[in-house]
Amino acid sequence: MSLTCQQLLDKYPQKWKAAISHPFLDNCSAGTIKPEQFNTWLVQDYLFVIEFTRFLAQGLASAPVEHFDVLLGGLHAIKDELQWFQTKAKERQLSLDVPKQAACQAYGEYMAGLANAPYPVQAVALWAIEIAYNQAWQLPGKMAAPYLEFAERWGNSQFSEYVQLLGKQADAALENATPQVQQQAEDAFLKIAELEKDFWQMAYKTE
Ligand code: HMH
């Protein structure tokens, strides 16, 4: 039996919970997040998504053709997402031309390094990154404006379906993977859990 995405979630419940739940999200839900904290997250997440777009493109380049359809859908959606971030930043009069904070920098470097990893590792990493936001933004319950729009971007049912398809593709890739590659995929899952946790915390730091 090969490793599956569901098994990773089941095996590390605490580490995963730390990736997807944070005072940042609870404060958004309660409406008590400080605007400068939210804005820090917003700008840094835009910088993350730029690196994530490159990561998606690398994944496509490594993928078997039967996985193209889902991945091209993801790349298409990210075109809209980049523009949406630019619009949100403008509304809030935020400059996007700022340095990456350490947690954002580390996440970007980690994704860039996965370009050389076997495809099953990249597929698990992509699924983990997307399901992290899909779950994180839904966990606190229905959010009020202005945060509802953010929660719905990653919590909506279409995005949830996309995440499911990414999980299926990652599972399929793992079926043909050696034990060493499966271990690498597990390590990637754990690393992403940590990077996600640190990313939320970043909103509380001003650099
Ligand atoms: C930090 N993780 C982070 N930002 C995102 N936008 C996503 C995951 C989902 O793409």
Is any atom of ligand 1 closer than 6 Å to the C-beta of 159?
no
Is any atom of ligand 1 closer than 6 Å to the C-beta of 51?
no
CB atoms within 10 A of CB 79: 10
- Residue 206: per-residue pLDDT: 62
DSSP-based three-state secondary structure for 203: coil
- Average pLDDT (65-84) is 98
- Dihedral angle, C-alpha 116, 108, 171, 69, nearest 10 °: -90
- Average pLDDT (190-205) is 96
Domain-wise residue ranges, the chain: 5-200
- CA of residue 48 to ligand 1 center, whole Å: 7
pLDDT tens column, 116-175: 999 999 999 999 999 999 999 999 998 989 999 999 999 999 999 999 999 999 999 999
Q: What is the CATH number of domain 5-200?
A: 1.20.910.10
- CA of residue 95 to ligand 1 center, whole Å: 19
Is any atom of ligand 1 closer than 6 Å to the C-beta of 172?
no
